[in-house]
């Protein structure tokens, strides 16, 4: 399946739609497909809307490019991508990138582990193939 890159000002980014599934129903959410991210991290407000008590998760620390430390809370969550559902461990953080980014991040554990991913900047598209 293919998804078009999204434009943010003058910048193209590999951002695509997913759904997060929870006890309060599914929530559509956009995520940056980030090969440098170790795991998937979502905004805490999304987790709360799903019915998750965020701070009851396992607290973990992550460091950004500038070396700033942030705390997230690890929970098992189900994501849906192109009609396929996957149960993953995802982190929920109050300020993903200090609220600069209007989307979450999907990374190596939980996303790249489930898909073969092709980035094509010239065509401005991301292609996902389900990992066998």
* DSSP code at position 109: B
Domains and CATH numbers, the chain: 2-130 (2.40.70.10)
For residue 66, the 8-state DSSP code is T
CA end-to-end span of the chain: 15
Contact 58, 10 (CB under 8 A): no
Q: 0.85 cut: is pTM over it?
A: yes
pLDDT in tens, the chain (132 residues): 999 999 988 999 999 999 999 888 899 999 999 999 999 999 999 999 999 999 999 999 887 777 778 889 999 999 999 889 999 999 999 876 555 678 999 999 999 999 999 999 999 999 999 988
Residue 46 near residue 104 (C-beta atoms within 8 A): yes
């Amino acid at each position: 399946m293919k998804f078009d890159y999204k434009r943010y000002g003058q910048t193209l980014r590999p951002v695509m739609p997913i759904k997060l599934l929870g006890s309060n129903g599914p929530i559509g959410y956009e995520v940056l497909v980030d090969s440098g991210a170790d795991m998937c991290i979502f905004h805490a407000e999304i987790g709360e809307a799903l019915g998750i008590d965020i701070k009851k998760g396992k607290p973990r620390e992550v460091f950004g490019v500038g070396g700033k430390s942030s705390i997230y809370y690890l929970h098992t969550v189900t994501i849906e991508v192109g009609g396929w559902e996957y149960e993953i461990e995802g982190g929920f953080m109050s300020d993903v990138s200090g609220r600069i980014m209007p989307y979450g991040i999907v990374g190596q554990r939980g996303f790249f582990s489930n898909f073969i991913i092709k980035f094509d900047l010239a065509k401005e598209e991301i292609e996902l193939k389900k990992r066998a």
